[in-house]
Structure 1
Amino acid sequence: MNIVSTSPTLFSHLYGTHHSWLLRLLHRRLNNGWDAADLAHDTFIRVLKRPPQTADEVHERSYLATIARGLCIDHWRRRQLEQAWLQTLAARPEALQPSPEQRAIIVETLYEVDAMLARLPNKVREAFLLAQLHGMPYKQIAAQLEVCERMVKKYLAQALLHCAVLEAELDGLLVE
């Protein structure tokens, strides 16, 4: 049963019934009212895209809490990346500091790369990072990962394919 397409009043009821509860839940987790309001809004946007299949209050709250938990994790990861980037910037001379617009673009790009890497299997991610960040040759990567060189090539091909698919999705060329 698709609640949104079935009746907009059902979505309105879901929002009206659970918004305050969700906002309090998020405020306790994040300890910040503005972030809690943003994530509550994002949670209901996700509900619009994929409504719950059941209509009882317990399942609705569980569904909303699950979505909100994932958004909190994304929020915290994003903050960690942003803090790491700001610490790196603090070490640079003022003349070499990027503009606020460039900073926002860089943080968004870092977040997208982190999300892409998180979706890769562990060995594929490790091989990719060793090759791209550390410039290690296949032989050294194979030794470190305790696999043959052929597997390293396979891992890197898998990672590059994943990057290409992600880029196509971001460019709007692929539709889910």
Structure 2
Amino acid sequence: MDHATPQPDRGCRPARGGMPPLVVFRVGTRRYGLPAGLAVRECMPVPELLPLAVEMPHISGCFRLGAAMVGVLDMGVLLGVRAQAVRAPADLLHRALLLCNLPGGGGVGLVVDAAEDVIRPDGGMRAVVDGRLEAAEGAGRELELADGNIAFMLRMTDIVNDGERVRLDSLVARTRRREALWAGDEDAAPDAR
């Protein structure tokens, strides 16, 4: 199975007129939400990361998932909580990785401080928009959680735009070619000069 391409939906469709289930995670002191199954397909401990060919402040590294290499972004840097991506294995030990689908195929890993819950917002869930309560519909909204906390809802396109995706794919491909050269597998790295 190719884990880098979106997997078939396994029952995570929203109820009629409702929202899809949400993965609620924490970065710093704030909570955020992404659609489960649609964007987030798995939550897992951060695996051993390979360094990329070029170090970027918001990229922690990449890892092998089957035949694919998956780039890993640090949500703390993207959301302004940290200046540099967490890369040291000891620092990644107690963080979670959200394995996410990208629009158009492929995947990316997001390092978060903690994955807290998967919720299924019902008709009673309300969002705060411009200081007023209204029905929760999607990204850019603050969703009031059952415990009274607020989760800011995100979209994958807000996290990884087309330019970022091209840059990340290029860095992962360069890292794969570099690995092949070091392993002496010249057939796997024909244009890595």
TM-score (norm. length: structure 1): 0.24
More strand by share: 2
**Structure (1 or 2) with the larger CA radius of gyration:** 1
More helix by share: 1
Q: Which has the higher contact order (CA 8 A, sep 6+)?
A: 2
TM-score (norm. length: structure 2): 0.23
